[in-house]
Amino acid sequence: MSPIPRARKTVGAQASLSGLGVHSGNQITVTLKPAESGQGLMLVRTDVGRSWPLSVAAVTPATNCTAIGDSEHSVMFVEHLMAALWAEGITDVVVEMDGSEVPLLDGSARPLLDLIRRAGCRDLKDPVEPLVVREPLHLGDETRFIAALPSERTEYAYLLHHPHQLIGLQFTSFRPAEDDFATELAPARTWGLAEELQQAQAAGLFKAGSEANALVVYDDYYSAPPTLPQEFARHKLVDLIGDLYLIGRPIVGTVFACRTGHTDNHQLAARLLGDE
């Protein structure tokens, strides 16, 4: 199976948004700027004068999110932005930040998708070759795993099995050629258990974490009604798609994950690049 080249894209104009960093509690501005063809997805921290490619090689350790950077500086929570860039087919862009985290905003990818759409998209002269899954890849064990399988039709799927009675067993899938990211995945919010958020805040993390930027699950109720069916699994799928877009180009194949997280996604992305 030969990949069909696709047009590279950048944003059509500069656009910005600002929001609260949940770790720092500071207002942080994200600005998208057009890039040249082949420049790729670039991240710039203007407050410290550092820049990195939004790539697998630049992933740095972080808790419950994806971070890009080095041993001295980084930017956390890039996964929702990456998913939105993937959804709009953006292959080349400069993302400027004046802080250490992408604001969570309402906890979904929707505000970042809206930002990209406000900036617009512009085709570039060069094509991008999709990464084609040619051999089955599998990471994990019988309790949690992530796999990539050859397929002429791209599909992402996630199975969530959580012990909390209000979450339980959830499954969702997404086919880019048929389904609509803006309505079926983008509104799905970051979620977490109330006790986990309380423990993190007691440890000095998530200073500005609240029901405004996450769907919080209490013992017998949600902080707000879920906006989508299977919303918890749908958000895990947003994270998966965003993390795999650190490859920098679309994937042709089927990716299926069960009870996995960011580290598993990064490992699969690295394996896919290594097996080309």
- In this prediction, residue 2 carries a pLDDT of 56
Query: ∠ CA(8), CA(119), CA(241), 5° rounding?
Result: 55
- Statement: residue 209 has pLDDT above 90: no
Q: Helix, strand or coil for residue 153?
A: coil
Proportion of the chain above pLDDT 90, given as a percent: 88
E strand intervals along the chain: 6-11, 15-20, 27-34, 41-45, 50-53, 59-60, 67-69, 74-75, 93-97, 121-128, 131-132, 137-140, 145-149, 155-161, 169-174, 191-193, 215-217, 251-252, 254-258
To the query of whether residue 262 is one of the catalytic residues in this protein, the response is: yes
Report residue 50 as tokens: 């550092």
Q: How many Å apart are CA 184 and CA 262, to the nearest integer?
A: 21
Q: Is 175 left (phi over 0), alpha (psi -120 to 50) or beta?
A: beta
Q: How many Å apart are CA 65 and CA 75, to the nearest integer?
A: 10
Give the amino acid at 120: G
- In this prediction, residue 5 carries a pLDDT of 76
Q: Which domains does the chain have, with CATH numbers?
A: 6-128 (3.30.230.20), 131-274 (3.30.1700.10)
Give the tens place of pLDDT for each residue, 55-80: 999 999 998 999 999 999 999 999 99
Q: Exactly one of 162, 164, 262, 266 is catalytic; which is it? A: 262
